[in-house]
């Protein structure tokens, strides 16, 4: 009998990928499935970005790059952040990684071990809890509540800090809820963290371009007093419709850059060179496609929010960011997982149970509106019909 490491008994997975696999299987059997399950833009990567990577290959950029990424790309990231948030960023603190997930994994590995605690949003991106448990640290859930429109509050976070807390994970705009935390809560949180200088913060801002209704993104980068313990996570996946390219970046405190670099050298050496050239084109080229995608998501957001609330048994707070609606399903009398399975197997709609994002997601379902208006409309009709409404 093979004996694997203990951490592997604690590591979990991301159900959205299982739902996607089952949906594809059902489709292969000839069933019609509308996919509101997976969280990826349904747009193509803009053409000038694709062309830049083809050109890079033709120009002979096929070798290893520095582990942290090519300098031109790190400079482009730093300049873009400076332009957006008015804060100077040292390109030497930027690390290009294969997707947003890698910054998360590295940060959790860096701070997580037996005896440590890491605070994470719940419901939240499932990899937070999984990777924390894998590291041996205790995951401390920060419940996100419907009555707060799924924003976190400074008090809720600070009241969970103990002498064992090493890292706090924040995510706004949030997956799976679409919640956006207002600036005054972030101001209060940062002020409260003065009392806990040993605690690091990882701010997952992968949806930083996807806010609606006139909202502006508040980046944790805008708090210079936090810079020596802030890890910023962002990337190209959601902003530029590049989920399959595996392109993400982290901005690390200068004291941790070398450690992050070592993890990269031990893990993946560097990101695919041609993809890095695509990353430069994305940041330095026209941003019209980003604005167009955001506008399309916004139209769908308003539609899905309005229509879900017309379905008896479902109610939904207005999503403020990302591309997810997170309706409360308790009025349907069903548990989250039960409804997810029924909708996929019987109604032909892929969704993800709120419990896939943590125990505090019971009573909710995640619907991704990264799909056409026509498909969203059809999916909601199927859901309505399934619930007998
Ligand atoms: N963080 C959040 C909150 C996400 O929702 C996702 C992807 O769904 C990621 C990080 C990971 O992004 P990537 O696909 O770039 O690894």
Residues 272, 366 within the same domain: no
Domain boundary pick from 260, 284, 308: 284
The pLDDT tens digits of the residues spanning 330-376 come to 999 999 999 999 999 999 999 999 999 999 999 999 999 999 999 99
Confidence of residue 13 (pLDDT cuts 50, 70, 90): confident
Cβ–Cβ < 8 Å for 368, 39: yes
Report the C-alpha gap between 158 and 181 in whole angstroms: 15
Residues 163, 249 within the same domain: yes
**Cis omega (within 30 of 0) on the bond before 123?**
yes
User: 382 is in which domain, residue-wise?
Assistant: 6-44+288-386
Closest CA to 193 of 231, 165, 232, 234: 165
Ligand 1 atom closest to residue 243's alpha carbon, by position in its atom list: 14
Ligand 1 atom closest to residue 236's alpha carbon, by position in its atom list: 15
Report the C-alpha gap between 189 and 259 in whole angstroms: 27
Q: 283 CA to middle of ligand 1, Å?
A: 19
* b/e burial code for range 141-179 (CB count within 10 A of at least 16 → b): bbbbebebbbbbbbebbbebbeeebbbbbbbbbbbbbbb
Q: Which residues line ligand 1 (CB under 6 A)?
A: 39, 99-101, 125, 171, 175, 204, 206, 235, 237, 243, 248
Residues 127, 179 within the same domain: yes
**C-alpha dihedral (218, 306, 361, 212), degrees to nearest 10:** -10
Q: 368 CA to middle of ligand 1, Å?
A: 14
Cβ–Cβ < 8 Å for 212, 321: yes
Report the C-alpha gap between 273 and 263 in whole angstroms: 18
Residues 244, 343 within the same domain: no
Q: 363 CA to middle of ligand 1, Å?
A: 23
Cβ–Cβ < 8 Å for 349, 367: no
The pLDDT tens digits of the residues spanning 123-153 come to 999 999 999 999 999 999 999 999 999 999 9
Name the residue with the closest Cα to ligand 1, atom 5. Answer: 175
Domain boundary pick from 259, 284, 309: 284
Residues 265, 326 within the same domain: no
Residues 187, 317 within the same domain: no
Provide the pLDDT for residue 62.
Answer: 96
Q: 204 CA to middle of ligand 1, Å?
A: 8
């Amino acid at each position: 009998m093979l004996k694997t490491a203990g951490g592997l008994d604690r590591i979990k997975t991301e159900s959205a990928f299982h739902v996607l696999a089952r949906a594809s299987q059902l489709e292969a059997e000839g069933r019609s499935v509308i996919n509101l399950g997976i969280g990826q833009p349904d747009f193509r990567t803009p053409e000038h970005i694709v062309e830049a990577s083809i050109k890079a290959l033709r120009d002979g950029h096929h070798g290893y790059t520095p582990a942290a990424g090519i300098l031109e790309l790190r400079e482009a990231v730093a300049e873009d952040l400076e332009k957006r948030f008015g804060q100077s960023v040292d390109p030497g603190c930027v690390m290009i990684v294969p997707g947003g997930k890698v910054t998360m994994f590295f940060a959790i590995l860096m701070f997580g071990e037996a005896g440590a605690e890491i605070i994470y949003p719940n419901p939240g991106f499932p990899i937070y809890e999984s990777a924390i448990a894998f590291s041996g640290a205790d995951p401390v859930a920060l419940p996100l509540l419907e009555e707060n429109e799924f924003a976190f509050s400074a008090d809720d976070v600070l009241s969970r800090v103990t002498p064992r807390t090493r890292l706090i994970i924040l995510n706004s705009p949030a997956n799976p809820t679409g919640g956006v935390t207002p600036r005054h809560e972030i101001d209060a949180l940062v002020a409260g963290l003065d009392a806990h200088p040993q605690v690091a913060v990882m701010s997952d801002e992968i949806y930083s371009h996807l806010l609606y209704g006139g909202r502006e993104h508040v980046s944790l980068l805008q708090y210079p007093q936090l810079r020596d313990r802030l890890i910023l996570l962002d990337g190209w996946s959601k902003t530029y419709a590049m989920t399959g390219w595996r392109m993400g970046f982290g901005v690390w405190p200068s004291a941790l850059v070398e450690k992050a670099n070592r993890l990269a050298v031990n893990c993946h050496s560097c990101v695919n060179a041609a993809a890095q050239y695509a990353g430069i084109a994305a940041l330095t080229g026209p941003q019209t496609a980003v604005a167009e995608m955001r506008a399309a998501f916004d139209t769908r957001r308003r539609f899905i929010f309005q229509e879900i609330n017309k379905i008896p048994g479902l109610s939904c707070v207005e999503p403020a960011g990302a591309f997810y609606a997170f309706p409360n399903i308790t009025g349907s009398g069903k548990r989250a997982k039960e409804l997810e399975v029924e909708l996929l197997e019987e109604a032909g709609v892929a969704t993800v149970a709120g419990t896939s994002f943590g125990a505090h997601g019971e009573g909710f379902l995640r619907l991704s509106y990264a799909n056409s208006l026509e498909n969203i409309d059809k999916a909601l009709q199927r859901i309505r019909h399934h619930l007998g409404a």
